[in-house]
Structure 1
Amino acid sequence: MAAWPPLPPHCAAAGHALVQWVATADTDRSRLCVLRGGRASGKSHLLAWFLIGAASHPSTTAHATVPAQGLITDAVAWEMGRQLGYGPVPAHRLLVRIAADQRPLLLLLPDLHLAGRGPAGQPAASPQAILGNLLLPLLALPHVRVIAETGESGLLADQEHDVVDLGPSPFPGAAPPADGAPDFVALRGSVPATPDGRPIWAQASRPVREGILDAALEEQDGKAISSLLADPGFLIHGSAAAITAALRTPEIAAPTGLRPIWERAAPQLSSIEHDDVTRAALLQAAALGTSPALSEYLRPLAKQHVWTATWAQHGLPVSAQCQIPGNDAPLVTADPLGRLSTHNSGTGQRNGTLSSPTGIRPAGIAAADRGALLVLDEDGPLHVLASDDEDTAATVLGNIADHHGQTLLGAGNLTPTALGSCPQSPLAAVGDSSGAVHVWSLTTYQPAPRSRRLHSVPVSAVACTQDASEGMTFVFSSGFDGTIRLWETSQEPMDSPIDQRPAVVTALAAAITAAGPVLAAAWNDGELHLWHISSGKAEVLPLLYRCSALALSAGGQLMVGGPDGMYAVQLRLDRLSN
């Protein structure tokens, strides 16, 4: 207990009991601790006190703390996923990730009895939805323990649990209950407005932005609800949990297309760390192709961001992609079923299909030209797709595939795990299960690649780009240990990684741009990292949705593909280099 400050006498026993429960990871004890007590009895104070000293020892470390008041199930999952390093994932994917992770977890849910959002009578408005869809499935996992604050509600009383009870009496000196929440008219009247009466949501107080939609729902004021949901400014600044709960209620009228737009953007918009410009950029990207009016309305603010979305094909799943070398060359994509397509890289529109062998599930693509592709199957083998088997490029690609096929079948069992290419020249890099990276020309025969072992674990993604004017070839690779490494092939690889995080890179892309070499990395926690290699400057940005493939053009257009669709953003290269 030395790591914790003294507690007031009336809750000292409860504090000792809480720490003892946490520190005793005994299989005979329940993995659920319920914190009970009346209003202002000191429950929140006790949890805050616990968190002060919790990190002092591994046995008491809290891995995620999500105040549940006013949150729906997915909003709890989004925040819990962030804190656990998974990114803002929905509840069903969070459960899958935690089940696979297996590390012992202690999760805190303050104010669980105050959870729920949306119209009264809807499932999302009750804490029971969080219990059934998230908390109880979490407790079914043997490596998860939970402290849940339930007030005097009786929540979880039917579950096996231990109890820390502060009693019904208020904390000595506690403030009296606040008056009832202000109504919609009062809240709306407090929002600064333009001379013509339009609300300036950026200047509204946080309590107003958080509570005004709740007030409209409480009063069942359909006109007020519609006005809020139709206001792009409110969508940027309002409560993500409240808007999500409202839009998931079928009886509430919403502008055309807003529901799918919001579902794409809400996980990232739920973060309080994003500024107005970032939120506008995310919402504008989500609106592209669904609501031209909303997208164009948001574009001026979104253009102040490091990236601005230029096109989107939401719902078109992508498992791999590459840009064919050359100016204005098409983008080649593969879907999870192995079907290959070409797309106009300026608009995203599909303009052709390519034949591919049955049974291939592409995890990477590299192109020598429009008629010769090297494809990495998710199980490891490399395949050649060529319109002319006698073509030089087809022969070169066949040699690459044969080389890695032999290493796959050889004593080392070195399985290719990643494939990347250069957008400006016919160059490719292959990463393998030993952590090595191999660089090949896609048009000139090489008996063997240039190779270096850059990682001690399998390679998760690889990219390369060639600066012909400087005679330099940059190779970037990431390992499943969360490292990204740089190798300029005329020299030995850098000793230290250029980045390392407790996450996994799912895609890399690099290009020589007008600002110099730029690297983009997508991580499995929903972050996109951009590096200006010459200066070392980096930007950390949110991804709209999951990413399994990136392609970067010399002009600074970054194309993002994943199981939820594909979209392109134009990077502000001046922001990266200055």
Structure 2
Amino acid sequence: MFLAWLAEHATEPGTDTLRRVHGLVPLTGHSAHTTAWQLAEQLQVAARTPGELLAAVAQDQRRTVIVLPDLHASTEPAAIEELACELAGFAHVRVIAETRQPSATLLAQAPAVMDLTDPQWTDPDRHTAWAATAQTAENTVEPAPERPDQANPVDLDDPASVCAADPLHVTAAYEATDNPHGGLRAAWLRSGASLTRPQTPATRACVLRAALGDAADPRLQDSLAALAQEAGWNVRWNRVRGDINPPWPGPVHAMSAGAARQNNTLAVLDHQGVVRLLLTDSGHPQGRLAHPVTEASALTVTQDASTILLGPDGRLSLHDSPTATQSSGIAGLMDQGTSTWERILREAPPGARITALASDGDQLATGGLDGTVRVLAWNSPGVTHHSTLLHDAAVTALAMLSTPAGPDLVYSGGQDGRVRLWATDQEPLQSAVAERGCAVVALAAAPAEDKVALAIGWADGLVEYTVTGPDSGTSRRSFQPGPPVRALSLLPGGDLMIGTDESLIRLEPC
């Protein structure tokens, strides 16, 4: 009751910063994983495990208050106590936990303890009256009605049953067994941070379908696709960790479909700096760049299928595509001169700490730590420069789009949680295209007939997809795969590619 009162009054609009509660998870029925998932959603970060939650909270130094009622009623009190103690160890975090019996783990942290049975917190007369009422109620109370999932236990082999059931109950059941249940268990636990959010069974089925591995019972794909018909997305194909045919390409740190308009390929950068080329219609491998760039953080594929990589020192490097045909004879000799992209890269500010990049046509956009976006455009016989300050913090993502009847557009996402739009021949729009309380981690833009499609990946794992037309307004939909989103690409026709540390997914809006 005390924590309910505290949470109610500390989450109201206008609550003083020093009294605000930022995360609240009533722990009845929760495991350590589901607790981490709930806190990650409320704190607007992406985390699949308690360890990832701790890493995310450590990076965000803002004052954070977390309230955890009913610790004694959780399914894993010891594991949640450990998580709570780790969180409380950060100087900027305060944790308020409620338990009937403080453990040695909790007491070892030397917490401030408020024992509500202590006479100093209790009015003797009111407590006596309450105790008598409680005793009478205990003697006459009828058995509590069973919860729906208790009366009708979930069938962990049946996608329809799993998608309609209480997600906490499903998670606990899958965590308590090693039975793969046809592949549903692995898919659920891989994407559980998304599945435990309030949503329809159709949306939950779509997320599960996107997390299903190729070792799963093949009948599950059709079953989940049928259940997901009202979700707004169709999973065209997916690759998850452990897949063999075609192979999972590894963790996706960045990707670019710039060359897809010419040869149906997607360039994917992994955690070791290796760039692989995949067919966009199936995910089958088509080769890789000859040399990895260790600790590379971003890439863009140019119109001529060259790849530009952003290295750990903030410098850019140009790489030929392994699938490009090499000219011979006189044409080969003529091609040995300085290319357009070499000229453009020479104009990049020396020593600048670049944090994001994108390209379109003969133009390259770069973003910096100071929030500035620069565009270098080839305009024979030289390179033209444009720059403007778009963010109050580092630029974290960029997308470029050439429009047939209008100016070239640059979309910019920042650590400040804003997406800005800039046409290089005009002043940037003053209002943000989108804004949330967490950083932008990925952007993609592409033409869709007479419209513009824009995909935004946020640090809490949400992907927002909008299509805007001059006469039809804006349509919106979203998808949250579960693992943190690392990269996005939009393909011709509007299909969306999502890359995470665990998966690569192609979604068709429908």
User: TM-score range with shorter-chain normalisation?
Assistant: 0.7 to 0.9
- Which of the numbers 136, 161, 169 marks the counterpart of 1:234? 161
Partner of 1:553: 491
- Which blocks of at least 5 consecutive residues in structure 2 are unaligned? 119-126, 242-249, 327-331
Equivalent positions of 1:330-369 (< 5 A) are 330-356=265-291, 358-359=293-294, 361-369=296-304
Partner of 1:401: 345
Q: Shift of the alpha carbon at 1:105? A: 2.4
Structure-2 change in CA distance of 1:442 and 1:352 (3 Å): farther
Equivalent positions of 1:140-539 (< 5 A) are 140-152=89-101, 156-157=106-107, 159-167=109-117, 173-174=133-134, 175-176=137-138, 207-209=147-149, 211=150, 228-250=155-177, 252-272=178-198, 274-287=199-212, 289-291=214-216, 292-315=218-241, 316-323=250-257, 324-326=259-261, 329-356=264-291, 358-359=293-294, 361-370=296-305, 372-386=306-320, 391=335, 395-404=339-348, 407-409=349-351, 414-422=352-360, 425=361, 427-441=363-377, 446-468=382-404, 470-514=405-449, 516-534=451-469, 535-539=473-477
Give the Cα–Cα distance (whole angstroms) in 2 for the partners of residues 96 and 440 of structure 1.
36
Partner of 1:46: 2
Partner of 2:245: none
Q: Shift of the alpha carbon at 1:249? A: 3.1
Q: Which amino acid aligns with 1:397?
A: W
Q: Shift of the alpha carbon at 1:375? A: 1.6
Moved more, 330-339 or 167-176: 167-176
Q: Deviations over 1:154-184 (max 9, x none)?
A: 67455523333333975674553865567xx
Q: Does the 8 A contact of 1:440 with 1:446 survive in 2?
A: no
Question: Secondary structure of the equivalent of 2:302?
Answer: strand
Q: Which amino acid aligns with 1:238?
A: A
Give the Cα–Cα distance (whole angstroms) in 2 for the partners of residues 131 and 399 of structure 1.
58
Q: Shift of the alpha carbon at 1:240? A: 2.5
Matched, 1:128 2:78: yes
Q: Shift of the alpha carbon at 1:548? A: 1.8
Q: Deviations over 1:319-341 (max 9, x none)?
A: 12111152552111111111111
Q: Does the 8 A contact of 1:474 with 1:488 survive in 2?
A: yes
Q: Does the 8 A contact of 1:393 with 1:442 survive in 2?
A: no
Structure-2 change in CA distance of 1:395 and 1:298 (3 Å): same
Q: Which amino acid aligns with 1:176?
A: E
Q: Does the 8 A contact of 2:402 with 2:408 survive in 1?
A: yes
Question: Secondary structure of the equivalent of 1:151?
Answer: coil
Q: Does the 8 A contact of 2:260 with 2:266 survive in 1?
A: no
Give the Cα–Cα distance (whole angstroms) in 2 for the partners of residues 360 and 65 of structure 1.
37
TM-score scaled by structure 2?
A: 0.84
Give the Cα–Cα distance (whole angstroms) in 2 for the partners of residues 445 and 374 of structure 1.
22
- Which blocks of at least 5 consecutive residues in structure 1 are unaligned? 1-44, 117-125, 188-206, 217-226, 573-578
Q: Shift of the alpha carbon at 1:393? A: 9.8
- Which of the numbers 53, 61, 64 marks the counterpart of 2:23? 64
Aligned-residue Cα RMSD (Å) equals 2.8
Give the Cα–Cα distance (whole angstroms) in 1 for the partners of residues 295 and 239 of structure 2.
23
Q: Does the 8 A contact of 2:267 with 2:301 survive in 1?
A: no
Q: Which amino acid aligns with 2:487?
A: A
Give the Cα–Cα distance (whole angstroms) in 1 for the partners of residues 431 and 31 of structure 2.
43
Q: Which amino acid aligns with 1:47?
A: L
Q: Which amino acid aligns with 2:138?
A: P
Partner of 2:124: none
Q: Does the 8 A contact of 2:265 with 2:278 survive in 1?
A: yes
Give the Cα–Cα distance (whole angstroms) in 2 for the partners of residues 529 and 284 of structure 1.
19
Structure-2 change in CA distance of 1:154 and 1:430 (3 Å): closer
Q: Deviations over 1:491-549 (max 9, x none)?
A: 32111211221111111000001361011010010111122233244334323422221
Moved more, 289-298 or 90-99: 289-298
Q: Does the 8 A contact of 1:519 with 1:530 survive in 2?
A: yes
Q: Shift of the alpha carbon at 1:359? A: 3.5
Q: Which amino acid aligns with 1:568?
A: R
Q: Does the 8 A contact of 2:412 with 2:419 survive in 1?
A: yes
Structure-2 change in CA distance of 1:310 and 1:426 (3 Å): farther
TM-score scaled by structure 1?
A: 0.75
